[in-house]
Structure 1
Amino acid sequence: MKAWLSQPQIAAVGSCCLVGAITDEILYVANLGDSRAVLGRRVADGRAVVAERLSNDHNVAEEEVRKELLQQHPDDSHIVVHTQGVWRIKGIIQVSRSIGDVYLKKPEFCRDPVFRQFVSPVPLKRPVMSAEPSIRVKKLGLHDSFLIFASDGLWEQLSDQDAVEIVFKNPRPGIAKRLVRAALSEAARKREMRYEDLRRIEKGVRRHFHDDITVVVVFLDRHRGGDSPLSGGASAVVCNTPADIFSLTSGKPMFPSMV
């Protein structure tokens, strides 16, 4: 509360969150927002790969998310607004769940004058965003090959299937960076630009072309158990290859003094 009194703008700071954990061949995925986890599974005797999405996009671009909000706020006709070609909660934000963004979760935090440019004319009577994660539990199979965890900046440009095929068809080292480059190439193509020209655009301006992109790729290697009776020769998932990680920001921080 003390920090909010001196810097009320921190009430508008928020983040999506995506977490994955593996134990005893069980994968747990929890997410808030529209970062996404996608599994790559080998098929056709290992000659091809298919994608399986393991998280829910908490984004009002999804019709089900809009329906959920409308059901929760039947007395607020402005709970979701279509503006500038996209759906937004209260005309402000696309994600419906996040860490932070308390000015859209607690009415007392949206009364400061700093938010008059953000908050719609309809007063905030109750929280319009949530910090309740979606959780997925999955038993990993023999042909489950790798996981891609990425922010929405990647998925705005690449489909789930496009992404898993890039990982499947290319060497492991630097694979996360390769995915980011593929996304940037697609963003450039949509603007009828070359990739090199897009890369030369300064940060801040580049946010008009693509969002921040963070990618983590985890390979699920299987190793046969030993000869001990306890192992029974069974195979086990072992993530002993370091995760490949790459992150690219497209804009400047909203509040530089807080970084």
Structure 2
Amino acid sequence: MCAVCPLRACLTVGRCHHHTPRHLHKLHYPAVSGNRKYRAKQEAEQMSTAQIDHILKANEYSHAFPRGPASHGAQGFHSNLLSANQPCEDSRSSASCLVDRHRSVGGGALLFGVFDGHAGAACAKAVSHRLFYYIATATLPLKTLQEIESAVEEARPVPPLLEFHQQPREEQRCGAQQPLMFSSRLRMFWQDLLQEAQEDTTALLDTEGSNVSSALEEAFMRLDNDLSMEAQLDLATSSPRRVPNPGDSHSLSSPLRVALSGSTACVAHLSQGVLHVANLGDSRALLGVQESDGRWSALPLTQDHTAHNPDELHRILGEHPRSERRTVVRHDRLLGMLMPLRAFGDVRFKWSKETLGRMYESSRPEVVAAAMNMALRRTMTQNYHTPPYLTAHPEVATHRLRPQDKFLIMATDGLWDLMHRHTAVQLVGEHLTGLRWQRPLSPNPGTTLGSLQSLLLERKGRGLSTVADLNSATHLLRHALGNDGYGGVEPRRLDKMLRLSPNHSRMYRDDITITVIHLNEPDVL
């Protein structure tokens, strides 16, 4: 995502005001007529089906949940990720909370998240690993928090809060000191929750845990505050003369690097058939609903936090003096630079002028590497009067699942730049229908040979369009990149999009991360 606008990377399709928008229809395709040798060469260069599948499916993931209360209404999920940036700035996570608000072990809630980073991958990677722990902590009952604190105080083992189904691969790259700082910060979080409960007599009555919506909001805000505090501590205690070697793991994952980069977040919390979606930024979540007549419709559960959203624009303008109305949002960007109006990290839009001044004066390599174009930085500094301009406060939607709610699609804006939400729901709905038709046939005792033959022919016809992908997220990815405009996939277009070099792919698309959670849909996975 071209969210912070150093001129080196402003190539998001149709979004950046510093560059001429580049659109997918401008991709060049060889003419169908012309020299035969030229056409033969183009065909020879085209990737095989196996090569295309290898690229599309390299990061796909599927998981099925066991039947019973622990599934919370979800049968399982499919996920996939395709990078455009090098390295990829998107991230994703999914996990089960192992202790719920009612003290039953093994089925607290299911958590799913997609995270779209900008100005580097560090913030998205950190948030994808840490946020779920903050959510799990915020939703636990006070008695459980007290038991955890006692266990830590007495050096007894603490039961795990989460079981990750899809651990971020980049976690192994974290600096050695980061997990220790993370654990201390998380402990301070639950200590503060206990302290607040002692000071608030009404909270002591809340033995079943916090309201999920407010807990999600508190978890988001607390993690963002911790990222900021860790960065300020890192900046204050490190030597300005220290110049790490290129690729130094501390520099790549330091608290300051994490806080200088940024990330949107879209997180789903599913417990006992109740779905909460917390969102900040421009990733999206929507339900695929099957109407009584069999048709599919999309039910959005998020709204974009950008200047294109009138409510969001009104919110941010109302938080600053009227004298800044012309400068807070310029060219549809925060201070003329940042596309999302809510995000983790991005301390350049949150810290005081004095703190930012000390940071820019330091010789820390993270600051040098993340330095903005100097002209843009001067413009931003001139209009930087009443920080913070950016918040990590999410909007939370609540929805109780109904029988017609068949799946939830969560994706970063890389997908939505290429595909309308109704198209996405239609594709996933038809894909799930195709998977059902491909399941082993179990005819009834009274089935005749004629009716069985007709059924087999119908199954064969319905299944032809879905045999390429068993993973719903991969199915969406294939159609987004190879869309022929008629609901199908144009092989040459798909080939072109996948063969773009890292230096060129970002000109035509963003990183794409998709997670599809299957609901009320038995035997799909």
Work out whether 1:18 is the aligned partner of 2:315: no
> What secondary structure sits across from 1:40 in the alignment?
strand
Instruction: Please state how far the C-alpha of 1:181 moved relative to its aligned partner.
Output: 2.1
> What secondary structure sits across from 2:286 in the alignment?
strand
More helix by share: 2
Work out whether 1:33 is the aligned partner of 2:33: no
Work out whether 1:100 is the aligned partner of 2:361: no
State how far apart, in whole Å, the 1-side matches of 2:502 and 2:347 are: 27
Instruction: Please state how far the C-alpha of 1:177 moved relative to its aligned partner.
Output: 1.1
Task: Name 2:472's counterpart in structure 1.
Answer: 175
State how far apart, in whole Å, the 2-side matches of 1:24 and 1:9 are: 38
Deviations 1:108-164 (A, max 9, x none): 454316346353232243111101011111111111110001111111111111100
Instruction: Please state how far the C-alpha of 1:95 moved relative to its aligned partner.
Output: 0.3
Q: Is the 8 A contact 1:61 1:94 kept in 2?
A: no
CA RMSD, aligned part only?
2.7
> What secondary structure sits across from 2:337 in the alignment?
coil
State how far apart, in whole Å, the 1-side matches of 2:514 and 2:421 are: 13
Task: Name 1:129's counterpart in structure 2.
Answer: 390
Q: Is the 8 A contact 2:414 2:510 kept in 1?
A: yes
Task: Name 2:317's counterpart in structure 1.
Answer: 70
State how far apart, in whole Å, the 2-side matches of 1:70 and 1:92 are: 16
Q: Is the 8 A contact 1:33 1:59 kept in 2?
A: yes
Measured at CA, do residues 66 and 41 of structure 1 come closer, stay the same or move farther in structure 2, by a change above 3 Å? same
**Letter aligned with residue 69 of structure 1:** I
Deviations 1:175-197 (A, max 9, x none): 10121222223599xxxx82211
Deviations 1:55-111 (A, max 9, x none): 1211222232222222222221211111xxxx1111111101111111111124543
Task: Name 1:53's counterpart in structure 2.
Answer: 300
Q: Is the 8 A contact 1:11 1:109 kept in 2?
A: no
**Letter aligned with residue 90 of structure 1:** L
Unaligned 5+ segments in structure 2 are: 1-231, 239-250, 362-370, 436-469, 486-491
Task: Name 1:226's counterpart in structure 2.
Answer: none
Instruction: Please state how far the C-alpha of 1:27 moved relative to its aligned partner.
Output: 0.7
Q: TM-score, normalized by length of structure 2?
A: 0.39
1:161 to 411, 418, 422: 422
Q: Is the 8 A contact 2:403 2:520 kept in 1?
A: no
Q: TM-score, normalized by length of structure 1?
A: 0.75
Measured at CA, do residues 147 and 42 of structure 1 come closer, stay the same or move farther in structure 2, by a change above 3 Å? same
**Letter aligned with residue 519 of structure 2:** L
Work out whether 1:3 is the aligned partner of 2:234: yes
> What secondary structure sits across from 1:178 in the alignment?
helix
Q: Is the 8 A contact 2:481 2:493 kept in 1?
A: no
State how far apart, in whole Å, the 1-side matches of 2:356 and 2:283 are: 26
Q: Percent identity?
A: 29
Measured at CA, do residues 178 and 115 of structure 1 come closer, stay the same or move farther in structure 2, by a change above 3 Å? same
State how far apart, in whole Å, the 1-side matches of 2:398 and 2:479 are: 30
Unaligned 5+ segments in structure 1 are: 224-239, 243-259
**Letter aligned with residue 327 of structure 2:** H
More strand by share: 1
**Letter aligned with residue 12 of structure 1:** L
Instruction: Please state how far the C-alpha of 1:11 moved relative to its aligned partner.
Output: 3.6
State how far apart, in whole Å, the 2-side matches of 1:181 and 1:14 are: 28
Task: Name which of structure 1's ranges 3-12 and 120-129 shifts more when overlaid on structure 2.
Answer: 3-12
State how far apart, in whole Å, the 2-side matches of 1:25 and 1:116 are: 48
